[in-house]
Amino acid sequence: MERKNLWAPWRLEYVQGLDQGGGCFICENRERPEDDEKNLVLWRTALSLVILNRFPYNNGHLLIAPARHIAGLEEASEEELAELIKLVRESQEALVRAIKPHGFNVGMNFGRCAGAGLPGHLHVHVVPRWSGDTNFMSVCSDTAVISQGLAELLGKLRQVSEEHNLPGL
Phi, psi of 121 (to 5 degrees): -130, 110
How would residue 139 be classed by pLDDT, with cut points 50, 70 and 90? very low
Q: What percent of the chain has pLDDT over 90?
A: 46
pLDDT, one tens digit per residue, over 7-21 is 556 555 554 554 555
Note the pLDDT of residue 165. 86
How would residue 136 be classed by pLDDT, with cut points 50, 70 and 90? very low
Query: Rounded to whole angstroms, what are the CA distances from 17 to 23, 85, 95?
Result: 10, 29, 28
Note the pLDDT of residue 137. 46
25 by Cβ neighbours in 10 Å (0-12 / 13-18 / 19+) ranks as middle
Residue-wise burial string across 91-128, b where 16 or more C-beta atoms lie within 10 A, e elsewhere = bbbbbebbbebeebeeeeeeeeeeebebeebbbbbbbb
Note the pLDDT of residue 140. 44
- Top-confidence range, 7-11, 31-35, 97-101: 97-101
Note the pLDDT of residue 17. 55
Q: Which of 61, 121, 123, 125 is catalytic?
A: 123
| Average confidence score pLDDT of the chain | 82
- Mind listing the domains of the chain with CATH numbers? 11-160 (3.30.428.10)
Can 123 be counted among the known catalytic residues?
A: yes
Instruction: Give the residue from 83, 120, 123 showing the smallest Cα distance to 106.
Output: 123
In the predicted structure, residue 134 carries a pLDDT above the cut 50: yes
Higher pLDDT, 81 or 145: 81
DSSP 41: E
